[in-house]
Amino acid sequence: MVPFRVDRWLLQEANKIVEPVGVHIELRSNALTTGTSGRPTIRVVNGQTLAHLLFNPDLSFGDAYTRGSLEIDGDLVSVLERLFECTSRLPKWISRLKTVWLRHVQANSLRGSRRNIRHHYDLPTDFYQLWLDRELIYTCAYFPERQATLEEAQQAKLKLICKKLWLKAGETMVEAGCGWGALSLYMAREYGVRVKAYNISHEQIVFARNRAREQGLSGEVEFIEDDYRNIHGHFDAFVSVGMLEHVGVEHYRDLGRIIHKVIGDSGRGLLHFIGRNFPKPINLWIQKRIFPGAYPPSLREALEVFEAQDFSVLDIENLRPHYALTLRHWLDRFEYSYDLVAGRRGEEFARMWRLYLAGSMVAFNLGTLQLFQVVFAGHRCSTVPWTRNDGKRAIERKPMDDVWIPAMC
Amino acid sequence: MVPFRVDRWLLQEANKIVEPVGVHIELRSNALTTGTSGRPTIRVVNGQTLAHLLFNPDLSFGDAYTRGSLEIDGDLVSVLERLFECTSRLPKWISRLKTVWLRHVQANSLRGSRRNIRHHYDLPTDFYQLWLDRELIYTCAYFPERQATLEEAQQAKLKLICKKLWLKAGETMVEAGCGWGALSLYMAREYGVRVKAYNISHEQIVFARNRAREQGLSGEVEFIEDDYRNIHGHFDAFVSVGMLEHVGVEHYRDLGRIIHKVIGDSGRGLLHFIGRNFPKPINLWIQKRIFPGAYPPSLREALEVFEAQDFSVLDIENLRPHYALTLRHWLDRFEYSYDLVAGRRGEEFARMWRLYLAGSMVAFNLGTLQLFQVVFAGHRCSTVPWTRNDGKRAIERKPMDDVWIPAMC
User: Could you report the per-residue pLDDT of A203-219, keeping only the tens digit for each?
Assistant: 999 999 999 999 999 99
Tens-place pLDDT, residues A46-91:
999 999 988 888 888 999 999 999 999 989 999 999 988 776 666 6
The count of other CB atoms within 10 Å of the CB of residue B387 is: 19
B373 band by pLDDT with thresholds 50, 70 and 90? very high
Residue B48 lies in a domain: yes
**Together in a domain, B161 and B266:** yes
Give mean pLDDT, residues B167-178.
Answer: 97
**Roughly how many angstroms between the first and final C-alpha of chain B, as a whole number?**
78
**Together in a domain, A139 and A65:** no
Does residue A243 have a pLDDT over 90?
Answer: yes
Per-residue confidence (pLDDT) for residue B401, from 0 to 100? 33
Chain B contact probe: residue of A76, A402, A408 with most B CBs at under 10 A = A408
Does residue A141 have a pLDDT over 90?
Answer: yes
Please tell me which of B114-118, B335-339, B380-384 the model is most confident about, judged by mean pLDDT: B335-339
Nearest to A318 among B313, B320, B397 (CB): B313
Does residue B408 have a pLDDT over 50?
Answer: no
Phi and psi, residue A273, nearest 5°: -155, 155
Chain A contact probe: residue of B79, B160, B277 with most A CBs at under 10 A = B277
Q: Do A85 and B404 touch (CB under 8 A)?
A: yes
Per-residue confidence (pLDDT) for residue A29, from 0 to 100? 64
| CB < 8 Å to B308, chain A | 278
Give mean pLDDT, residues B73-77.
Answer: 92
B99 band by pLDDT with thresholds 50, 70 and 90? confident
Please tell me which of A94-98, B71-75, B209-213 the model is most confident about, judged by mean pLDDT: B209-213
Distance from CA of A360 to the nearest CA of B (A): 10
**Together in a domain, B148 and B253:** yes
Interatomic CA distance for residues B134 and B150, integer angstroms: 9
Concatenated DSSP letters for B269-315?
A: EEEEEEEBSS--PPPHHIIIII-TT----BHHHHTHHHHTTTPEEEE
Does residue A137 have a pLDDT over 50?
Answer: yes
Phi and psi, residue B110, nearest 5°: -55, -45
Does residue A125 have a pLDDT over 70?
Answer: yes
Give strand ranges (E) for A93-186: 172-176
Per-residue confidence (pLDDT) for residue A401, from 0 to 100? 33
Q: Do A408 and B368 touch (CB under 8 A)?
A: yes
Distance from CA of B295 to the nearest CA of A (A): 12
Nearest to A315 among B316, B368, B369 (CB): B316
Residue A66 lies in a domain: yes
Give mean pLDDT, residues B294-301.
Answer: 96
Residue B406 lies in a domain: no
Identify the bridge partners of residue B172 per DSSP, sorted by sequence position.
B194
Q: Do A387 and B144 touch (CB under 8 A)?
A: yes
The count of other CB atoms within 10 Å of the CB of residue B404 is: 9
Of B365, B144, B364, nearest to A399 by C-alpha is: B365
Does residue A168 have a pLDDT over 70?
Answer: yes
**Together in a domain, A85 and A52:** yes
Three-state DSSP at B389 gives coil
Per-residue confidence (pLDDT) for residue B36, from 0 to 100? 53
**Together in a domain, B334 and B195:** yes
Q: How many domains does chain A have?
A: 2
Q: Do B278 and A312 touch (CB under 8 A)?
A: no
Q: Do A88 and B400 touch (CB under 8 A)?
A: no
Q: Is the dihedral of CA B30, B32, B37, B40 positive or negative?
A: negative
Interatomic CA distance for residues B270 and B201, integer angstroms: 21
Does residue A295 have a pLDDT over 90?
Answer: yes
Per-residue confidence (pLDDT) for residue A335, from 0 to 100? 97
Interatomic CA distance for residues B143 and B325, integer angstroms: 8
List the single residue in B with minimal CA-CA distance to A310: B277
Per-residue confidence (pLDDT) for residue A402, from 0 to 100? 33
Strand order in the sheet with A41-44: A24-27, A41-44, A70-73
CA dihedral of residues A48, A54, A59, A65 (deg, nearest 10): 60
Which of B43, B58, B91 lies at the terminal end of a domain, its last residue? B91
**Together in a domain, A256 and A352:** yes
Residue B369 lies in a domain: yes
Interatomic CA distance for residues A389 and B119, integer angstroms: 39
Q: Do B406 and A369 touch (CB under 8 A)?
A: no
Kindly provide the b/e burial profile for residues A257-271, where b requires at least 16 CB atoms within 10 angstroms of the residue's own CB: ebbbebbebebbbbb
A367: left (phi over 0), alpha (psi -120 to 50) or beta: left
Per-residue confidence (pLDDT) for residue A409, from 0 to 100? 29
Residue B389 lies in a domain: yes
Q: Do B366 and A277 touch (CB under 8 A)?
A: no
Give mean pLDDT, residues A128-148.
Answer: 97
Tens-place pLDDT, residues A329-376:
999 999 999 999 999 999 999 999 999 999 999 999 999 999 999 999
Per-residue confidence (pLDDT) for residue B323, from 0 to 100? 98
**Together in a domain, B163 and B17:** no
Which of A91, A119, A138 lies at the terminal end of a domain, its last residue? A91
Q: What is the CATH number of the domain that holds B34?
A: 3.30.1050
Pick the residue with more confidence: A101 or A192? A192
Q: What is the CATH number of the domain that holds A334?
A: 3.40.50.150
Pick the residue with more confidence: B180 or A406? B180
Q: Do A368 and B308 touch (CB under 8 A)?
A: no
The pLDDT mean for chain B works out to 89
The pLDDT mean for chain A works out to 89
B92 band by pLDDT with thresholds 50, 70 and 90? low
Q: Do B146 and A84 touch (CB under 8 A)?
A: no
Give strand ranges (E) for A70-147: 70-73
**Together in a domain, A205 and A58:** no
- Which residues lie below 8 Å from residue B327, measured CB to CB, with a gap of 6+? B357, B360, B361, B364
Pick the residue with more confidence: A36 or A285? A285
Chain B contact probe: residue of A277, A280, A284 with most B CBs at under 10 A = A277
Give mean pLDDT, residues B334-351.
Answer: 96
Per-residue confidence (pLDDT) for residue A284, from 0 to 100? 86
Q: Please, are residues A295 and A360 in contact by the beta-carbon 8 Å criterion?
A: no
**Together in a domain, B209 and B278:** yes
Chain A contact probe: residue of B364, B383, B408 with most A CBs at under 10 A = B408
Give mean pLDDT, residues A97-117.
Answer: 78
Does residue B407 have a pLDDT over 50?
Answer: no
Q: Please, are residues B81 and A405 in contact by the beta-carbon 8 Å criterion?
A: yes
Interatomic CA distance for residues A229 and A260, integer angstroms: 12
Strand order in the sheet with B70-73: B24-27, B41-44, B70-73
Distance from CA of A224 to the nearest CA of B (A): 32
- Which residues lie below 8 Å from residue B317, measured CB to CB, with a gap of 6+? A314, A315, A388, B372, B373
The count of other CB atoms within 10 Å of the CB of residue B139 is: 20
Q: Do A278 and B88 touch (CB under 8 A)?
A: no
Per-residue confidence (pLDDT) for residue A405, from 0 to 100? 32
Of A230, A307, A217, A408, nearest to B86 by C-alpha is: A408
Residue A403 lies in a domain: no
Which of A26, A58, A91 lies at the terminal end of a domain, its last residue? A91
**Together in a domain, A65 and A126:** no
B188: left (phi over 0), alpha (psi -120 to 50) or beta: alpha
Percent of chain B whose pLDDT exceeds 90 = 70
| CB < 8 Å to B380, chain A | 367
Per-residue confidence (pLDDT) for residue B37, from 0 to 100? 58
Residue A406 lies in a domain: no
List the single residue in B with minimal CA-CA distance to A304: B300
Interatomic CA distance for residues B388 and B229, integer angstroms: 31
Q: Do B313 and A299 touch (CB under 8 A)?
A: yes
List the single residue in A with minimal CA-CA distance to B301: A300
Does residue B317 have a pLDDT over 70?
Answer: yes
Q: Please, are residues B357 and B330 in contact by the beta-carbon 8 Å criterion?
A: yes
Interatomic CA distance for residues B225 and B206, integer angstroms: 9
Tens-place pLDDT, residues B261-292:
999 999 999 999 999 999 998 888 988 888 88
Give mean pLDDT, residues A373-388.
Answer: 95
Tens-place pLDDT, residues B29-64:
655 454 555 789 999 999 999 999 888 888 889 999
| CB < 8 Å to A394, chain B | none
Give mean pLDDT, residues A1-9.
Answer: 76
Give mean pLDDT, residues B143-148.
Answer: 96
**Together in a domain, B125 and B222:** yes
Q: Do B407 and A367 touch (CB under 8 A)?
A: yes
Per-residue confidence (pLDDT) for residue B237, from 0 to 100? 98
Per-residue confidence (pLDDT) for residue B398, from 0 to 100? 43
B25 band by pLDDT with thresholds 50, 70 and 90? very high
Does residue A36 have a pLDDT over 70?
Answer: no
Q: Please, are residues B316 and B305 in contact by the beta-carbon 8 Å criterion?
A: no
The count of other CB atoms within 10 Å of the CB of residue A74 is: 15
ipTM of the shown complex? 0.91
Which residue range(s) make up the domain with A24? 4-91
Per-residue confidence (pLDDT) for residue B90, from 0 to 100? 65
**Together in a domain, A21 and A117:** no
Does residue A35 have a pLDDT over 90?
Answer: no
| CB < 8 Å to B311, chain A | 277
Nearest to B408 among A144, A368, A379 (CB): A368
List the single residue in B with minimal CA-CA distance to A59: B409
Q: Do B85 and A369 touch (CB under 8 A)?
A: no
Percent of chain B whose pLDDT exceeds 70 = 89
Count residue pairs from A and B with Cβ separation < 8 A. Answer: 163
Residue B126 lies in a domain: yes
pTM: 0.92
B17 band by pLDDT with thresholds 50, 70 and 90? confident
